């Protein structure tokens, strides 16, 4: 027999593990604002990646949108239900995420080159890294929240945080025929930091911490580890091929 709580009980137990519907001065509202910002940032970087692969406007918008909302979409597909009810992709009910993604992608497609020339911008600029890292910190918390609300184990809830943060980028890399960033060590740690951030949120919850401590723990760990990995070029080990000479 499953030890998971019933839908009604789960809803009561996990009432705090939710975002406010729109940004406001509360923990859930601040996370919602960060979620919007992270969505716009991921759409922008996805569009730049698609453009560098030679894609047209439609391709850039599709890839930008997938980068922004793909992780949460895959998470919702895997969860399948929440509190006993079937679960569909979050952006079908919260359509502003789709519009944020599309608008960010279109604006990036048309205005990036001009802005880059006028303001001396580059895809390697540190401000993009900081925005991306903030997105990781927020997304890993929100993904873990979804796992908790679905009644998953702590490990799987943390995994939901990682999926939410990184699987949009994974899909982007596959569609643009690039080495999947989170599966290769040509760059510093990424998915691991998101998993740890989600784990920190879940751990704080298990210790009975209030919502603001849970969210702060997840964000600080996800953002902090991402920053440390970038500053010190920390990568996961790679096993040398037995065929390498």
Q: What pLDDT does 39 receive?
A: 98
**Tens-digit pLDDT profile for residues 55-105:** 999 999 999 999 999 999 999 999 987 666 778 999 999 999 999 999 999
Q: Which residues pair with 82 in a beta bridge?
A: 85
Q: What pLDDT does 82 receive?
A: 67
- Output the CA–CA distances (angstroms, integers) from residue 156 to 3, 14, 143, 182, 233, in the order listed: 15, 16, 10, 18, 28
Q: What pLDDT does 241 receive?
A: 64
Q: Which residues contact 28 (CB under 8 A, 6 or more apart)?
A: 18, 19, 20, 211
Q: Which residues of the chain have pLDDT under 50?
A: 1-12
Distance CA 46, CA 104 (A): 10
Token look-up 């998971």 returns 4
Q: What pLDDT does 242 receive?
A: 56
Going along 152-218, which residue ranges are E strands?
A: none
Q: What pLDDT does 2 receive?
A: 39
DSSP state of 129: H
Q: What pLDDT does 215 receive?
A: 98
Give the closest residue to 167 by CA, choosing from 184, 188, 177, 182. Answer: 182
- Angle at CA 172, nearest 5°, toward 171 and 173? 90
Q: Which residues contact 78 (CB under 8 A, 6 or more apart)?
A: 160, 163
């Amino acid at each position: 027999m499953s030890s998971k709580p019933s839908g009604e009980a789960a809803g009561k137990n996990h009432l705090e593990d939710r975002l406010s519907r729109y940004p406001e001065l509360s923990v859930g509202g601040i996370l919602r604002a960060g979620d919007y910002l992270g969505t716009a940032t991921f759409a922008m970087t996805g569009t730049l990646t698609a453009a560098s692969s030679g894609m047209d406007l439609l391709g850039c918008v599709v890839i930008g949108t997938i980068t922004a909302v793909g992780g949460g979409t895959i998470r919702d597909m895997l969860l399948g239900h929440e509190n006993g009810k079937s679960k569909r992709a979050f952006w079908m009910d919260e359509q502003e995420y789709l519009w944020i993604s599309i608008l960010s992608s279109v604006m990036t497609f048309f205005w990036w080159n001009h802005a880059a020339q006028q303001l001396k911008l580059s895809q390697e600029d540190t401000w993009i890294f900081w925005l991306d890292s903030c997105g990781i910190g927020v997304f890993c918390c929100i993904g873990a929240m979804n796992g908790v609300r679905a009644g998953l184990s702590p490990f799987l809830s943390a995994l939901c945080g990682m999926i939410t943060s990184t699987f949009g980028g994974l899909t982007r890399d596959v569609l643009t025929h690039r080495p999947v960033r989170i599966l290769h060590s040509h760059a510093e740690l990424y998915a691991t930091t998101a998993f740890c951030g989600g784990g920190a949120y879940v751990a704080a919850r298990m210790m009975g911490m209030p919502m603001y401590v849970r969210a702060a723990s997840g964000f600080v760990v996800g953002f902090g580890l991402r920053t440390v990995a970038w500053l010190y070029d920390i990568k996961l080990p790679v096993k040398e091929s037995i065929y390498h000479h």
